Amino acid sequence: MSLLHTVNKSPFERNGLQSCLRLAEDGHAVLLIEDAVVAALDGTEHAETIKNSAERLSVYVLGPDLDARGLPKDRIIDGIEVVDYDRFVALACEHDSIQSWL
């Protein structure tokens, strides 16, 4: 069973992302939305964790939420795909279930 995990809190504020990455199984997808989009940036203290996770999980970040925060797409960690809402819907369809980490 393939899960899409959505995470909406910054890892600097809450530990939802850490819990998600710990519990997500190989091949699952993780979509960073709302304040969690900061986790997609390279150079933060969480970047190494995300990079390691991206080797076994598909990691996505919601572009409109990056734009809303003025975060530059050229600083995104290699291997993380920037998606729009249409792709968010498509990802929800492609996976069997959606787990929202709030």
Partner 1 sequence: MKFGILVNEGPYQHQASDSAYLFTRAALAAGHEVFRIFFYHDGVNNGTRLTVPPQDDRNVVDRWSELAQEHSLDLVLCVAAAQRRGLLDADEAKRHKKDADNIAPGFRISGLGQLIEAAIQSDRLVTFGD
Q: Which residues lie near partner 1 (CB under 8 A)?
A: 6, 8, 33-35, 64-65, 84-86, 88-90, 92-93, 97-98, 100, 102
* Distance (Å, whole) CA 79 – CA 16: 21
Q: Which long-range contacts (CB under 8 A, 24 or more apart) does 52-55 make?
A: 53/21, 53/24, 54/79, 54/80
Q: Which sign, positive or negative, has the C-alpha torsion 63, 27, 19, 91?
A: positive
Q: Which is nearer to partner 1, 52 or 100 (CB)?
A: 100
Q: Which is nearer to partner 1, 8 or 53 (CB)?
A: 8
CB of 10 to partner 1, least distance (A): 12
CB of 21 to partner 1, least distance (A): 19
Q: Which is nearer to partner 1, 18 or 88 (CB)?
A: 88
* Distance (Å, whole) CA 22 – CA 20: 5
CB of 93 to partner 1, least distance (A): 5
